[in-house]
Amino acid sequence: MCIHKPSKNIFMTREEKQEVIEALKGKFSQYTNFYITDTENLSVAQITNLRRHCFNKQVEVKVAKNTLIKKALESLDSEKYAGVYDSLHKVTALMFSESPKEPAIIISSFRKEINGEKPVLKAAFLNGDIFIGDNQLTALTKIKTKNELISEVISLLQAPIQRVLGALQNRTPQTPEGA
């Protein structure tokens, strides 16, 4: 599904803009995690490579005009998304993911691969929490996913049980005194 339709005319009609807004609303409703990035100055080959990385990790990348992104967010919940509005400037690529940290990992590894500083993280919206600025990227790569947290809790709960079972198994039978 294409968010931004190329047209013979460089200006979008009102209907085309409304289609883009509706498509974006669908993506924002579908995903609880999205990243707002700046991909300005990346070559076509680099953008294609970034999209391939994202596709391989089930991260959707969409590019749209900032005003249309803002209108889509405002029409869903103006207050909920208010913290990301100031990040909507320059070239904006949105990254949608079920995983809160996968886009951050992709951005970090992509930068290392091209030995550059792009794409720049402008903001991230993760399950209702907003992270602003590229300086948040390292922290976002370390966020634990829901499955990782569940696994840790299960391990913590199992540890005492395993110690008790181990103690019971290693216990030497004692004979009653005076027998």
CA–CA separation, 63 and 122 (whole Å): 14
CA–CA separation, 125 and 139 (whole Å): 14
**Closest among 55, 51, 69 to 4, alpha carbons compared:** 69
Q: Cα angle vertex 18, ends 85, 48, to 5°?
A: 70
- Cβ proximity of 141 and 101 under 8 Å: yes
Digit-coded pLDDT (tens) for 49-99: 999 999 999 999 999 999 999 999 999 999 999 999 999 999 999 999 999
* Residue-by-residue pLDDT tens, the chain, 179 positions: 455 555 455 788 999 999 999 999 999 999 999 999 999 999 999 999 999 999 999 999 999 999 999 999 999 999 999 999 999 999 999 999 999 999 999 999 999 999 999 999 999 999 999 999 999 999 999 987 777 767 778 877 877 777 777 777 877 666 666 55
Q: What sign does the CA torsion over 58, 63, 67, 68 have?
A: negative
Alpha-carbon separation of residue 154 from 87, 159, 163 (angstroms): 38, 9, 15
CA–CA separation, 73 and 70 (whole Å): 5
**Closest among 148, 102, 149, 147 to 124, alpha carbons compared:** 102
> Per the confidence metrics, is the pTM higher than 0.75?
yes
Residue 65, C-beta contacts closer than 8 angstroms, at least 6 positions apart: 4, 12, 20
